[in-house]
């Protein structure tokens, strides 16, 4: 009987919570500005993943949404490029939750128990998409208040 059941590591993302979801490889500003934001985003990922595994999808989605809005604070170049990467990663995570919820609410064995979470995921994805579009428009505008321009004016 002991040979019938065995445990093994099947999915490393569930077991390795200590590893950061997003890591900076190189930063032109030596992580002066984004270090705090990145740590908040990574912490939100860990908490969100724990809630997702516990089937508390609404709280998991809300935490990812908060992390998304934290990344919008990084609007100055070159941090804006990292911010876009952070937001796309967060959006992909919400999309994965949405896909999981769709599978759980449809089909023969589908349960309507998670329908409210699915609706929340759909609404949050639309909201995040709108915010991303607004930020893209703002990024394409010339920045007169960027740190680089400020420093150039001070040096002149």
Q: Per-residue pLDDT tens, the chain, 156 aa: give them.
A: 444 433 333 344 443 555 666 666 666 665 566 677 788 888 898 999 999 999 999 999 999 999 999 888 877 777 777 788 888 889 999 999 999 999 999 888 888 889 999 999 999 999 999 887 776 545 455 545 555 555 555 555
Nearest to 72 by CA among 92, 96, 90, 57: 90
To the question of pTM greater than 0.95 for the whole model, the response is: no
Measured at the alpha carbon of residue 29, what is the angle toward residues 25 and 35, in degrees to the nearest 5? 65
Which of 81, 79, 44, 77 has the alpha carbon at shortest distance from 61? 44
Spatial separation of the C-alpha atoms in residues 131 and 15, rounded to whole Å: 33
Distance CA(89)–CA(92), nearest Å, equals 5
């Amino acid at each position: 009987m002991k040979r019938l059941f065995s445990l093994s590591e099947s999915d490393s993302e569930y077991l390795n919570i200590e590893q950061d979801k997003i890591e900076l490889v190189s930063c032109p500003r030596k992580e002066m500005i984004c270090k705090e934001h990145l740590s908040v985003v990574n912490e939100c990922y860990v908490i969100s993943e724990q809630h997702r595994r516990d089937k508390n999808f609404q709280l998991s989605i809300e935490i990812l949404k908060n992390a998304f809005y934290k990344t919008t604070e990084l609007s100055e170049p070159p941090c804006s490029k990292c911010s876009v990467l952070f937001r796309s990663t967060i959006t992909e995570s919400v999309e994965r939750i949405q896909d999981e919820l769709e599978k759980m609410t449809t089909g023969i064995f589908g349960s309507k128990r998670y329908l409210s979470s699915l609706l929340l995921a759909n609404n949050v994805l639309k909201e995040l998409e709108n915010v991303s579009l607004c930020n893209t428009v703002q990024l394409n505008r010339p920045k007169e208040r960027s740190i680089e321009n400020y420093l150039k004016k001070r040096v002149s």
